[in-house]
Amino acid sequence: MSETTPYPQTHGGCQCGAVRFTLSAGPARGGICHCRMCQRATGNAFAPLLLIPGDRVKWYGAQPREWASSNISWRGFCAECGTPLYLRSDDEFEFMAGCLHPDTPFVPLDQGGVEARLGWLEQLNGLPAHDTLPELVARVTSHQAPE
Ligand SMILES: [Zn+2]
Ligand SMILES: [Zn+2]
């Protein structure tokens, strides 16, 4: 890892709660990847990723399922709910920031794969913004596992 940030111990997991993990404290590297593979693997505009060595990762519950997205990398996800969890190369994990506990002080230090960066991202700060609509919150019963 090149430039890093000190991270406290944290934890996280998938949306349904079947796959859970803890990450022990220490240096880690946050970044954003805009590449087409990360867009497709997350179904999203980009992937915010926390790079951490595998010896700092401890799993609980169900084991994540993996798919080899290339000859050097695997994409981990929950086999029950499909939540994308990480990108792995050998024993180095890049965790999707969205599956980390929200108190995790994720700090992206750079962005890669910018050849595929979507142009509309530059307009985000100018778009009208609102909280989740109260009428939606009132009629939805979440099946999401606790953090
Ligand atoms: Zn799950
Ligand atoms: Zn990528």
- pTM for the whole thing? 0.94
Closest ligand to Cα 116: 2
Ligand showing the shortest atom-to-Cα distance for residue 38: 2
Question: Which CATH superfamily is 5-139 part of?
Answer: glutathione-dependent formaldehyde- activating enzyme (gfa) (3.90.1590.10)
The Cα 8–Cα 90 span in angstroms is 24
Rounded Cα–Cα distance for residues 135 and 145 (Å): 22
Summarize pLDDT for 97-117 with one digit per residue, the tens. 999 999 999 999 999 999 999
Tell whether the model's pLDDT for residue 146 goes beyond 80: yes
Cβ proximity of 136 and 4 under 8 Å: no
Question: Residue 1 corresponds to which tokens in the numbers above?
Answer: 């890892």
Find the length of the chain.
147
66 alpha carbon – ligand 1 mean position (Å): 13
3-state secondary structure (DSSP) of residue 142 = coil
Domain map (residue ranges) of the chain: 5-139
Cα 147 to middle of ligand 2, angstroms: 26
**Which neighbouring-strand residues pair with 61?**
19
User: Taking the CB of residue 31, how many other CB atoms lie within 10 A of it?
Assistant: 19
pLDDT digits (tens, 9 = 90+) for 48-96: 999 999 999 999 999 999 999 999 999 999 999 999 999 999 999 999 9
Separation of alpha carbons 73 and 89, rounded Å: 5
Nearest-angstrom CA–CA distance, 7 and 50 = 10
